[in-house]
A = this chain, B = another copy of it.
Amino acid sequence: MSDATLSAPDIRPSSRYPIEALLADIGDIATSLDPADLRRKSRDYYWYSPILATRLKDKVADVIVTPRDEADVIRVAAACYRHRVPLTVRGGATGNYGQCVPLEGGVLLDMAAMNRIEWQQPGIVRVQAGAKLFDIDAQTRPLGWELRMHPSTKRMAQIGGFVAGGSGGIGSVTFGGMREPGNILAARIVTVEERPRVIELRGDAAQKISRAYGTTGIITALEMPLAPALPWIDVIVAFDDFAESIRFGRAIAMADGVVKKLLAPIEWPLPQNFAGLRQYCPDGKAVLLGMIGSMSIESFETLLEAFGGTLTYKAPSEDVLTKVPLYEHTWNHCTLQTFKVDRNITYLQVLYPHDRVVESAAEIGARFEGEVMQHLEFIRINGLMTASGIPVIRFSTPERLYEIMAAYEARGIMIANPHVLTLEDGSRYKRVDADQLAFKHEVDPLGLLNPGKMRSFVPRSPGALQ
Show the binding face of A for B, using Cβ within 8 Å: 122-124, 144, 148, 174-176, 180-183, 185, 202-204, 225-226, 228, 230-231, 253-259, 293-296, 298-303, 306, 380, 382-385
Contacts and interface: CB of A to CB of B under 8 A. Distances in A.
A258 B182 contact: yes
Contacts of A256: 174-176, 180, 182, 380, 383
A295 B226 contact: yes
Given A257-B182, A296-B225, A204 B302 contact: yes
A178 to B, nearest CB: 9
A257 B225 contact: yes
Contacts of A202: 298, 302
A267 to B, nearest CB: 24
A203 B259 CA distance: 15
Nearest to A260: B182
A124 B385 contact: no
A383 B302 CA distance: 18
Contacts of A258: 181-182
Nearest to A174: B256
A299 to B, nearest CB: 4
Contacts of A185: 295, 298-299
Contacts of A293: 123
Nearest to A225: B295
Report which residue of A176, A294, A382, A383 has the largest number of chain B beta carbons within 10 angstroms of its beta carbon. A383
Given A225-B259, A228-B228, 5 more contacts: A182-B296, A185-B298, A185-B299, A203-B301, A226-B295
A253 to B, nearest CB: 7
